[in-house]
Amino acid sequence: MIDTVVPARSFVPAFVVEAGEVLRIEDLAGRQAADVVLMPVDDPHDQMSCIYTQLLNRTTRITHGHVIYSKAARPLATVVEDTVGVHWFGGGCCSAETNEFRYGSPEGGSCRENLVESLAGHIAGPAELELDAIASLFMNIAIGPDGGLEIVLPTSRAGDHIDLRAERSLLVAVSACPQERNPCNGFEPSDIALSTSNP
């Protein structure tokens, strides 16, 4: 059983959620993105696929009732509760490279660095963490009529959460996004809470 807090801008070591358990990821203060990676314990190379999750659910808005799929199109988890309904399942995350591109400096920390550290001992390094395997929960990216993308303020409020029921035993990594140079965390990164239960 997991009951812990991911400190603002940081991570916790990757942990296992057993098949049938429900993982709750909670935005404690509101307006805070949580980047998440799921991978089967028995096949860690078959990581979550944001692309397949959207295609097989036939929507870009992953929420209650939708299934999260792996890159082999196998069910990993089901969203059994979602009080927000706005998440980014487009893959990718902030990184030293995107910080350099957007803001002229690789500094400031990133979800990619956090997730690689979280998965230390489970993956060999950054090259084994696929960008398609990273979902940004509570992240709000507006898509304009011309197809343009813009990071805007999250709609999540304090206590909002998403519950994922593991369809197989999963290794989970979570980063409380450290980004404060765009609105993805309301310009003020905060904590994320994690807990598991057996319904």
Does some domain include residue 20? yes
Per-residue pLDDT of the chain (199 residues; tens, 9 = 90+): 679 999 999 999 999 999 999 999 999 999 999 999 999 999 999 999 999 999 999 999 999 999 999 999 999 999 999 999 999 999 999 877 877 878 677 777 899 999 999 999 999 888 889 999 999 999 999 998 999 999 999 999 999 999 999 999 999 999 999 998 888 899 999 999 999 999 8
Does some domain include residue 198? no
Residues 147/75/118/24 CA torsion (nearest 10 deg): 90
Does some domain include residue 199? no
* Diameter of the chain measured on Cα atoms: 47
184 lies in which domain range?
3-193
**How many domains are contained in the chain?**
1
Does some domain include residue 114? yes
